[in-house]
Amino acid sequence: METRPYVPWELMNSFMIDVFKAYGVPEEDAKICADVLLESDRRGIESHGCNRFKPIYIDRIINGTLLPKTEIEIVKETPTTVVMDAHDGMGMVASHRMMEMLVEKAGKLGMAGGAIRNSTHFGIAGYWTDMAAKAGMIGVAGTNARPSIAPTFGVENMLGTNPLTFSLPTDEDFAFCIDCATSIVQRGKIEYYARSGKDTPAGMVVTRDGSTVTDSAEILKMLVAGTAALAPLGGGPGDEMCGYKGYGYATVVEILSAALSGGNFMKALSGVSPEGKPQMYHLGHFFFVVDPEAFAGGDTFRKTAGDICRALRASAKAPGYDRIYTAGEKEYLTWLERKDKGVPVGEAVQKEMIALRDKHSLPYRFPFEN
């Protein structure tokens, strides 16, 4: 059961928009950014929601590694493709503009693709692929990120947690959406283990000296020091359980994010200069949109996708498990549970909200202050 107090969606949305505006983000852009962050909370992906509002977005605007005004430059445009330079502005704003363009292009020609360079954190990749799914289209997206994953047979943090994300429209109330890192877990999950006082299961990280470490606080220190790195999906450093597949998909995302846009990659994305100072992240993202109407038809696609999901859920359960889910289903169930309640916020976020409100004299009073 949720023990954190809820903040109504409208209140949180309005507050975030006002804070973004206070830091120089134009109102229309602030609306996009707040919606992306809140969509994470609607889905229960709390590593990417209002937990990140202050530490990732506001703090980076303050330290100069994220520009509040997003100057989108269209570097190249064809009837099916777009290359953008986000010039270190809000990655969410550039991505939103990109997906609007690609959905329109795919609606005309069946297929569209885009890439953005010199961008910043774009929130959950599933937000962008779901923009396609809401238009009845297939969405594919990925982004590079500061280096965290070690290659198979390696121990050095080389690849971002690089999500390879797909949304596929169905005839149900929600799209099939697999939105996940190509590592076993993201750093955020280990932070969660550390906060909860839990050990990290063996095998989620690889260490320089080959030792097995499960102490979550220790792992976080080692990740920063570079003496540990995240293992790719399937595990590492060896290939016994085929971690070379997760490593391969992480590399696909690294290449597509940088090579289609002509942008940066790997160690250049650390956010830290050689002198140890914060510097621009220069991330790259890629997006593909496919309209099933240009294939066997949208109705056929959605019915088949729905039939496959329903058959999977109805299949035989493993001993000890009473339900099988399809990707996107748990997130939809979280939304149904939170829809009328709002977003649950923990103590750290409450303090951040109060501090931001007071600093900017914003006219809000939060339910948790009662």
Tell me which residues in 130-159 interact with a copy of itself (CB under 8 A).
Answer: 138, 150-156, 158-159
Query: Strand 6-7 to strand 343-344: parallel, antiparallel, or no bridges (unpaired)?
Result: antiparallel
Applying CB under 8 A, among 14, 80, 279, 334 the residue interacting with a copy of itself is 80
- For a copy of itself, the closer CB: 234 or 342: 234
How many CB atoms lie under 10 A from the CB of residue 273? Answer: 10
Q: Determine if 129 is a binding residue for a copy of itself (CB under 8 A).
A: no
Q: Determine if 256 is a binding residue for a copy of itself (CB under 8 A).
A: yes
Binding flags for a copy of itself, 295-334, as an x/- string (CB under 8 A): xxx--xxx-xx-xxx-xx--xxxxxxx-xxxxx-------
Half-sphere exposure of 354 (CA within 13 A, CB side): 12
Q: Determine if 363 is a binding residue for a copy of itself (CB under 8 A).
A: no
- Within residues 172-231, the interface with a copy of itself by CB under 8 A covers 176, 178, 180, 182, 184-185, 201, 203-204, 206, 208-210
Q: Report in angstroms how near the CB of residue 343 gets to a copy of itself at its nearest.
A: 24
CA–CA gap between residue 310 and residue 314 (Å, rounded): 6
Q: Determine if 119 is a binding residue for a copy of itself (CB under 8 A).
A: no
CA–CA gap between residue 51 and residue 342 (Å, rounded): 14
Half-sphere exposure of 356 (CA within 13 A, CB side): 25
DSSP state of 149: B
- For a copy of itself, the closer CB: 307 or 369: 307
Q: Determine if 72 is a binding residue for a copy of itself (CB under 8 A).
A: no
Contacts with a copy of itself by CB under 8 A: the residue count is 97
Contact 130, 45 (CB under 8 A): no
Bridge partners (DSSP) of residue 261 are: none
Look up tokens 């889910």; give the residue. Answer: 325
Q: Report in angstroms how near the CB of residue 262 gets to a copy of itself at its nearest.
A: 3
Neighbouring residues of 35: CB distance < 8 A, sequence distance ≥ 6: 13
- For a copy of itself, the closer CB: 2 or 240: 240
Contact 231, 204 (CB under 8 A): yes
Q: Report in angstroms how near the CB of residue 35 gets to a copy of itself at its nearest.
A: 24
